[in-house]
Every structure is written in structure tokens, then in C-alpha cells.
Amino acid sequence: MARVTIDRVEKTYKGNVRAVKGIDLTIPDGQFVVLVGPSGCGKSTTLRMIAGLEDISGGTISIGDRVVNNVPPKDRDIAMVFQNYALYPHMTVYQNMAFGLRLRKAPKSEIEKRVRDASSILGLDEYLQRKPKALSGGQRQRVALGRAIVREPACFLFDEPLSNLDAKLRVTMRSELKALHQRLKTTTVYVTHDQEEAMTLGDLVVVMADGEIQQAGSPDQVFRAPVNRFVAGFVGMPPMNFLEGRLQGSGDAIVWKESASNGAEIAVPPPLARHAAGSSGQPAVLGVRPGAITLDPDAPDNRSFEATVEVVEPLGEMTDIRLTTASGAALTARVSSVDGSNPGIGDRVRVTLDADRIHLFEPGPFGRSLDAPATPASTPGGTEAA
């Protein structure tokens, strides 16, 4: 096992495409780290540079104590699992798993032991003599994992390994992967565009956008204390709601006022107001997660505002309610479903915000959080839970 260190790593493709713009990341030994972000943000390029499948334009990558910039992939002591796991169709499960070790001329008894161990961990014992075409999608993905496990590498690299599976199987395999990591404790770097996959799998979640790391932290940190509006909007489903406005007042009596003339006005709770001190008149985007909204007709005016129900989506235990504010801004509330109490379309309701779960951001899609004093974007944690 090994720690992976990424130091000021850059990648510029032909045509001056700056896919990765100088990122720093330390992946502690034995941790499961997920690189997550929208398509094109540079996560696969980062993974492929760790694997050695892509040259590095600048910076260094180390696996353990060894700088691997110029080490060929086969000598990096890594094993990679891709979305298209491409098993050899003419080989049995056993032969597929043994293939890499045979190429490396491992002794037969050693191959036998490692394949048997991996197949027992992955529940593949009864399929060892089958060909891939006689397996389900999930079983094939397990064989692909088996091929990686038998190598006993210092580090696993996964590139969207579950995206070819149907939704239900993806969730099952996700749990299996997590259990597997808890058992083997091999350092793992996992790439996905799916924030839910990132949150459920990662010890450390690294949110990327536009070739840069926006935030690296525990799932709880990136969810509760996003460093900017991008992270706040990317992590969590349904996404955080954002309303444009500005701050007014001073001391502990700061209010956030929606931009429109008939807009909402919300008292900024004291801890947040302290950070925002001296910022009266400053434009600020208010962020609130759907789950931090209740529809309470008796709420105090300075924590609530009126809105109109547009769509009601029952989800079983919870119901999503899509609303528009008086100024026309869209908002989603996720509330507990209580028999017969859902509002109807066109109803006017009072939207109440949980004061402890209000966030404020500077304007713009990457607007910095005003929730806490500034911290460097790539430092895990560092911001107070909000």
C-alpha cells in the first residue's frame, strides 16, 4: 500500500487545452479518494496521469516515496479498472483473473492462491470455469475487479467502473466496492461524475471543475461547509437553492434582501452575520438546501417569505415541492410527506428557512462562501460546519 502525492500537476493537451491546471493533492495510505466533477473537468486526465497513461506537462506525482513521472505504467504498482472492463471472451473467469500474473511469470502455485482468494472475496467461486458471456453484468464487473485484486497493487485506480451497469446493480456494486475496500484497505483513487457515488464511497471527496480542485474534504465537509457556490450546487440532490440579493445593516442585525423590489428579506443568523460584518450593500447569493426549508404558515416574517406552489412530487417518505418566490425565482423544498397535507398547485405558502442552514456566497458561479473566514480552496476542512 502507498500514499499518492500530486504536486502542482498540470496537463496541457495539443491545441493548448489546459485540462488540469496545477493541482495539489495528498492521498493518504489506505484511503478511498473520489475525484468528482462534471464532464470535462479533468478528473480522468488526473487519474490517467497517476496511472502513467498520460504524460504530465508539469509538476510531480509520487506513489509511496517514489516519483513516478517517468516510470512506465506497468512498473507503477497500480491496477486500473475502467468503465469498459473488456474481459477476454475466449478465456474462463479463472484465466481472465490469472492472465496478468501469468504475463508477469508468477509461479503457478502463487497464481492459483491469489485467484482463489480473490474469487472467494468476490463470491465468484462457482463461476471460475465459465466464460464471460455466461455471466451477468455485475458478475463481469466483479471479474474485472478480481483481475485488479490478484495483482495486490499499492493502489487501485477506478475510472467510472459502474457506469455501464443499470441503476439498481450500480447501488449494489457500490456497497460491494466499499466493503471490499474496508477489507483490503488498498489506497484507491476513483473517478465519477456522480456526486451520490462520490459521497457514499469516498473517505475524501475531491470536487473538481474546470481543471482545478474546488474543495477536498470528507463527505460531511463538502456537504455542510462548501467553500464556494460551485461545490454547494454540485454536492447534494436535489441541489441547493440559490437566490440573488444583497446584505444590509450592521453588527448582528444584518439582513439579506432579495434583489427584486417585492423580494424576500431574511435575518442573517448571528454567527454568519459576524463573518459578513462590514459588508452592508454587498451583493450576496443566499443558498439553502431543499431539506432546510419547511412550509410553516406561522413562521416569523424575518425567516420566511411567500411563494407559489408550481409542482408537487411525492417520493414516498418525502415530497419535493417546486415553488416560485414573489420575484419569480425558482426554489425546491423537500418536506416530510404527511398524509393529505401536501399543498396543491397554485397554493400560496410560507417558505421558512432553517436559520442554522443558511449559506451566503459572493456572486458568480464560483462565488466564495461568506460563511466562514477564507481558506485555501484545496485544504480539506478548515471551514466551520454551517
For the chain, the straight-line distance linking the first and the last C-alpha, in angstroms and rounded, comes to 35
101 contacts 94 by C-beta, under 8 angstroms: no
Nearer to ligand ADP, 53 or 184 (CB): 53
Nearer to ligand ADP, 212 or 371 (CB): 212
- CA-CA distance, 111 to 102, in Å (whole number)? 7
Partner residues linked to 67 by β-bridges: 62
Give the 3-state secondary structure of residue 372.
coil
Partner residues linked to 241 by β-bridges: 288
Q: Please report how close the Cβ of residue 10 comes to ligand ADP at its closest, in angstroms.
A: 12
- CA-CA distance, 242 to 238, in Å (whole number)? 12
Nearer to ligand ADP, 13 or 88 (CB): 13
Nearer to ligand ADP, 19 or 189 (CB): 19
Nearer to ligand ADP, 48 or 303 (CB): 48
- CA-CA distance, 94 to 92, in Å (whole number)? 5
Q: Please report how close the Cβ of residue 233 comes to ligand ADP at its closest, in angstroms.
A: 17
Buried b (16+ CB within 10 A) or exposed e, 15-38: eeeebbbbbebbbeeebbbbbbbe
Nearer to ligand ADP, 42 or 132 (CB): 42
Q: Please report how close the Cβ of residue 51 comes to ligand ADP at its closest, in angstroms.
A: 12
312 contacts 345 by C-beta, under 8 angstroms: yes
Q: Please report how close the Cβ of residue 40 comes to ligand ADP at its closest, in angstroms.
A: 4
Nearer to ligand ADP, 19 or 145 (CB): 19
Q: Please report how close the Cβ of residue 336 comes to ligand ADP at its closest, in angstroms.
A: 36
Residues 6+ apart with CB under 8 A from 248: 254, 255, 256, 257, 280, 281
Nearer to ligand ADP, 40 or 363 (CB): 40
Q: Please report how close the Cβ of residue 211 comes to ligand ADP at its closest, in angstroms.
A: 7
214 contacts 225 by C-beta, under 8 angstroms: no
Task: Using CB positions, name the residue nearest to ligand ADP.
Answer: 44
Q: Please report how close the Cβ of residue 11 comes to ligand ADP at its closest, in angstroms.
A: 8
Parallel/antiparallel/unpaired status of strands 58-63 and 4-13:
antiparallel
Q: Please report how close the Cβ of residue 19 comes to ligand ADP at its closest, in angstroms.
A: 3
Binding site for ligand ADP (CB under 6 A): 13, 17, 19, 37, 39-45
Residue 147's nearest CA partner among 168, 122, 178 is: 122
Residue 285's nearest CA partner among 262, 268, 308 is: 268
